[in-house]
């Protein structure tokens, strides 16, 4: 769905300043999206303009012209910043996908190298069965076949994936190739990456405990306190709440808060647990 939207709205190409376009190009490569920086920039601008128009139409029903335009411009800027920075989220998630299967791939490579399997053959073996990591190893094998050296092909993987763990894996594979198919370093690195994944899983479990309590508070305790405040305020404090205020609170605000907590937990969930 996201790819179709970018392809549709990115027809009208757009160009920002040189540093922004360079960053966009790098993020697109690391996100593995088949678009040029100008296409994605055009998508970001058109999408933001659509958000601007929608916000302008809606806000006219509640505020005056000045506030409606100001709010719409704020929505335009927010949508533009979000769309440009969304690539950072995509490349991070893809890097996590590669990291998830990298320890098993390195262990398999260490076993093959220990039996004196040719290095290029090892890369071919890793090109399937290891998820997103196999996609990168297949690209490495293809680069070697068209004339790139092993070191250059591995360096390309390190540049395509925004991950320190993947960069370390590429360096260790290059070291093993240059020093007589040494497998011990690969095995040690695989163990380190597995321990790192265990640590991330424990951190996520701790976040689940905290946000579980937060979800209970947002979904039950806070609405109950708000209801009590409305009743007491209306009777004793001369506070007036319209039916629209209550509808907005219980139909939009509180459900949106619940959704935000659950969605955040989904975003920060490590790929190794998915």
Secondary structure (DSSP) of 1-30 = -HHHHHHHHTTS-----HHHHHHHHHHHHH
The rounded distance, in Å, linking the Cα atoms of 11 and 39 is 7
Q: pLDDT, tens digit, for every residue of 42-59?
A: 888 888 999 999 988 888
- At residue 236, the pLDDT reads 67
The rounded distance, in Å, linking the Cα atoms of 255 and 192 is 41
Residue 108 pLDDT > 80: yes
- At residue 115, the pLDDT reads 84
**Percent of the chain whose predicted confidence (pLDDT) is above 90:** 14
Q: pLDDT-derived band of residue 16, with 50, 70 and 90 as boundaries? A: confident
Residue 151 pLDDT > 80: yes
Neighbours of 213 (CB within 10 A): 11
Mean pLDDT, range 111-129, rounded to an integer: 88
Q: Per residue in 214-252, is it b (16+ CB within 10 Å) or e — as a string?
A: ebeebeeeebeebeeeeeeeeeeeeeeeeeeeeeebeee
Between 7-11, 57-61, 93-97, the lowest mean confidence (pLDDT) is in 7-11
- At residue 138, the pLDDT reads 92
For the four alpha carbons of 49, 51, 52 and 56, in that order, the dihedral sign comes to positive
Give the mean pLDDT of the chain: 85
Residue 147 pLDDT > 70: yes
The rounded distance, in Å, linking the Cα atoms of 207 and 200 is 11
- At residue 181, the pLDDT reads 64
For the four alpha carbons of 20, 26, 32 and 33, in that order, the dihedral sign comes to positive
Top-confidence residue, 11 or 36: 36
Q: pLDDT, tens digit, for every residue of 176-199?
A: 888 766 778 888 988 998 898 888
- At residue 264, the pLDDT reads 83
For the four alpha carbons of 170, 175, 181 and 182, in that order, the dihedral sign comes to negative
Mean pLDDT, range 72-100, rounded to an integer: 90
Between 68-77, 81-90, 105-114, 244-253, the lowest mean confidence (pLDDT) is in 244-253
Q: Which long-range contacts (CB under 8 A, 24 or more apart) does 17-25 make?
A: 20/84, 24/84, 24/87
Mean pLDDT, range 46-75, rounded to an integer: 85
- At residue 117, the pLDDT reads 86
- At residue 207, the pLDDT reads 85
Closest CA to 105 of 129, 76, 84: 129
- At residue 9, the pLDDT reads 64
Q: pLDDT, tens digit, for every residue of 202-231?
A: 888 888 888 888 888 888 888 888 888 777
What Cα–Cα distance (Å) separates residue 158 from each residue in 23, 90, 95, 126? 17, 17, 10, 16
Between 100-109, 224-233, 237-246, the lowest mean confidence (pLDDT) is in 237-246
Mean pLDDT highest for which of 11-20, 158-167, 222-231?
A: 158-167
Mean pLDDT, range 157-182, rounded to an integer: 86
- At residue 235, the pLDDT reads 66
């Amino acid at each position: 769905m996201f790819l179709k939207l970018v392809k549709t709205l990115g027809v009208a190409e757009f160009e920002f300043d040189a540093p922004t376009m360079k960053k966009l190009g790098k993020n697109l490569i690391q996100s593995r999206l088949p678009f040029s920086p100008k296409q994605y920039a055009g998508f970001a601008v058109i999408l933001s303009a659509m958000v601007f128009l929608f916000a302008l139409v809606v806000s006219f029903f509640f505020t005056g012209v000045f506030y409606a335009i100001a709010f719409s411009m704020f929505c335009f800027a927010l949508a533009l910043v979000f769309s440009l920075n969304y690539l950072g989220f995509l490349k991070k998630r893809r890097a996590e996908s590669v990291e998830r299967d990298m320890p098993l791939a390195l262990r398999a490579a260490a076993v093959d190298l220990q039996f004196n399997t040719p290095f290029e053959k090892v890369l071919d073996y890793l090109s399937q069965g290891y998820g997103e990591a196999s996609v990168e190893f297949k690209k490495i094998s293809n680069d070697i076949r068209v004339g790139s050296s092993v070191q250059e092909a591995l360096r390309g993987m390190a540049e395509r994936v925004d991950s320190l763990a993947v960069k370390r894996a590429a360096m260790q594979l290059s070291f093993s190739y240059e020093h007589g198919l040494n497998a011990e370093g690969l095995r040690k690195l695989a163990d380190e990456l597995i321990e790192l994944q265990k640590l991330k899983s424990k951190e996520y479990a701790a976040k689940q405990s905290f946000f579980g309590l937060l979800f209970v508070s947002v979904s039950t305790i806070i609405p109950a306190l708000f209801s009590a405040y409305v009743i007491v305020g209306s009777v004793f404090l001369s506070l007036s709440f319209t039916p629209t205020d209550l509808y907005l609170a219980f139909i939009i605000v509180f459900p949106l808060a619940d959704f935000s907590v659950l969605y955040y937990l989904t975003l920060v969930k490590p790929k190794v647990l998915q």
